[in-house]
Amino acid sequence: QKEVEQNSGPLSVPEGAIASLNCTYSDRGSQSFFWYRQYSGKSPELIMSIYSNGDKEDGRFTAQLNKASQYVSLLIRDSQPSDSATYLCAVTASNSNSGYALNFGKGTSLLVTP
Amino acid sequence: GAGVSQSPRYKVAKRGQDVALRCDPISGHVSLFWYQQALGQGPEFLTYFQNEAQLDKSGLPSDRFFAERPEGSVSTLKIQRTQQEDSAVYLCASSPTATNEKLFFGSGTQLSVL
């Protein structure tokens, strides 16, 4: 079992709709959770971080965390074609030597159609 | 430059050759990470430096992989006796603090082992 699981997609949503991206993780000791966006052929870019249960909003993005269910999600409101990318969920590996290694999921490919 | 710089951008190696990949982090950044990203996969943690100290090398897949950051700035990832399974994009990321809270990724080095 992979430590971080994501549906690979592609997830297709029309422009202006809400895109919902989900992630589950197996490491119960994880305390830090991140969403990275990766355009094709480019490097990952941090868009959201979340550390406590509940919702965290930043512009059109909302991250949701439920540690009891080991579940993290990302909502993108008013989706734009420029949001089309792969979204990587990353979780701090609690058992790493440094405590700072991140376990990434394979990513969910999002396609926003005009 | 303002970002993380990696060189070379592309590297083709014959099986058995040694390669060296360079990372120039953002000036003043304390933390430096190396990740390996295979095609269609999320990044996999390799190693972590805090200044010149290598605090975590638990992700290095074998003793053929070696990383250093002798002066706490530029880092080199060396792979000896390359194998086909080493083919991947090698990503370097730096962070201004001694945490993983906000990683800035370089464009990566795409290594192809023939």
Q: End-to-end CA distance of chain A, in Å?
A: 36
pLDDT tens-place string over residues B81-96: 999 999 999 999 999 9
Mean pLDDT (chain B, rounded): 95
**Residues of chain B positioned with their CB less than 8 A from the CB of A103:** 45
pLDDT higher than threshold 60 for residue A20: yes
How many A/B residue pairs have CB atoms within 8 Å?
62
Neighbours of B20 (CB within 10 A): 14
Rounded to the nearest angstrom, the minimum Cα separation between A9 and chain B is 12
Amino acid A98: pLDDT: 82
pLDDT tens-place string over residues A80-97: 999 999 999 999 988 888
**φ, ψ of residue B43 in degrees (nearest 5):** -60, 145
Percent of chain B with pLDDT over 70: 99
Amino acid B1: pLDDT: 54
Q: Where are the beta strands (DSSP E) in chain A?
A: 4-5, 11-14, 19-25, 33-38, 45-50, 54-58, 61-66, 71-76, 85-92, 102-104, 108-113
